[in-house]
Structure 1
Amino acid sequence: MGSGAVIRDAQRKNITFHDLRATGITWMAVRGDDPLRIKQRAGHKSFSTTEGYIREAENLSVGFGKPFPSLPAELTGIFGFDSGFMVSSSLLSTRNSTNQEWSKGGSNP
């Protein structure tokens, strides 16, 4: 097999957008997010769909670890680049100055 070959068998498959979405929803449930907020963020029409993710999270939560842990200090402190240009982490988290919100609606809090 050459480089970049895709192997498909009983243990491996390509990751899809839906796989990543389902993982995010499950992690929100493991973290203990409000079930109605999970439903809204996931765009589920029926709460019974969200309940399936919550049940799965309950099955997985023992020994799961901490979902969405804090970023390491190396990623949130002052960054240095070879060009000598420095970027402060405070600049990276600057909110929209007109409304002080990240988003209006959508799936963001």
Structure 2
Amino acid sequence: MTQYARMSWEGQRLWTSRGRRLAAEGTERAAEHTLGVSNQHVPLEEGTLERSGKVSADGLNVAISYDTPYAVIQHEALDFQHLPGRTAKYLENAMNSERETMLRLMAVPLRSWLRG
């Protein structure tokens, strides 16, 4: 299941090439953080699923994904038995639980630039 986070932009004066670069940097950091949290809950047998997790960034477009044939099944199947602390919905839960942290991480580079 794809999830999106939207952020409204109110600071046109920041929309310079440097501002866009810093916003992209913050967005990628937020995604890396969320991947780390998700990896703590990925169903674990051999670690292949966890190792397949990655962040892909193209400017302000960032994706978090797991690249195994069974990643979606493991994510969606609520009736599978997992080791303690490992769950289905590992990425979805991380996106939901880390929303505020992600927003703060996204703002850090821009805030630092403004404070100069």
Using structure 1 for the length normalisation, give the TM-score.
0.23
Report which of the two has the higher share of strand: 2
Structure-2-length-normalised TM-score = 0.22
Higher RCO (C-alpha under 8 Å, 6+ residues apart):
2
